[in-house]
């Protein structure tokens, strides 16, 4: 498998090392998703070195928030480039090499269904766009037997939104389950969509949010 990173080289290499230790083969590629040429080049290098591409998971994303009056065009453009345009470019590049049974999986956000506080407009906008992108791609690629779905994660403990970060106590009250989820919760949904049991799921938005949007 191949994984890309923009700045966290050490973390990417650590993941690759674990994959190798588990008997797999990992290719690590530096690619800034804000650069469409880098996104396409990463897909092409993957095919060149690994011989094929069967599954694409678009999980890169950045966050910007704050008062509406403080939002800048530059922030909006960068979030759109990384969170939305890169997903389209990667899907387009990967689809050229995929055959029947190929899978494209987006990582979205439960903010597409519920925005619980102010200051999240830009991020919610970009993640909502992934639902439309998913449905359109599902129609475009369905005749070729390629499925496209999006997983909307809720309050997940990540570097971008740590369970011990500022505001965590308030945020913990938003999901029905009253707690943060883990990366493994999202990975389980992705694995289902990518595996044999996901072969008839396409154009779908799967929400894994502990009741965040309930």
Active site residues: 123
CB 68 within 8 A of CB 97: no
Question: How far apart, in whole angstroms, are the C-alpha atoms of residue 111 and residue 139?
Answer: 24
Distances (CA, A) of 156 to 49, 100, 108, 181, 213: 33, 32, 12, 5, 14
Helices and strands in the chain: count of H runs, count of E runs: 7, 6
HSE of 103, CA atoms in CB hemisphere, 13 A: 20
User: Tokens standing for 122?
Assistant: 């830009």
CB 83 within 8 A of CB 64: no
């Amino acid at each position: 498998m191949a994984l890309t990173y923009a700045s966290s080289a050490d973390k990417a290499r650590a993941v690759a090392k674990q994959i190798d230790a588990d008997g797999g083969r990992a290719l690590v590629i530096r690619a800034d998703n804000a650069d469409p040429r880098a996104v396409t080049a990463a897909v092409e290098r993957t095919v060149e070195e690994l011989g094929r591409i069967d599954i694409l998971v678009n999980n890169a994303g950045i966050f910007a928030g704050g008062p509406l009056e403080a939002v800048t065009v530059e922030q909006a453009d960068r979030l759109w480039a990384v969170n939305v345009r890169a997903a389209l470019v990667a899907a387009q590049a990967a689809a050229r090499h995929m055959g029947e049974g190929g899978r494209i999986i987006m990582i979205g956000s439960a903010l597409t269904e519920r925005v619980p506080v102010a200051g999240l407009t830009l991020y919610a906008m970009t993640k909502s766009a992934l639902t439309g992108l998913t449905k359109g791609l599902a129609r475009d690629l369905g005749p070729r037997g390629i499925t496209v779905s999006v997983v909307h994660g809720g309050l997940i403990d990540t570097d971008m939104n740590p369970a011990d970060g500022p505001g965590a106590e308030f945020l913990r009250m938003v999901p029905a389950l009253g707690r943060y989820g883990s990366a493994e919760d999202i990975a389980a949904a992705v694995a289902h969509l990518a595996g044999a049991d996901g072969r008839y799921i396409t154009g779908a938005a799967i929400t894994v949010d502990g009741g965040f949007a309930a």
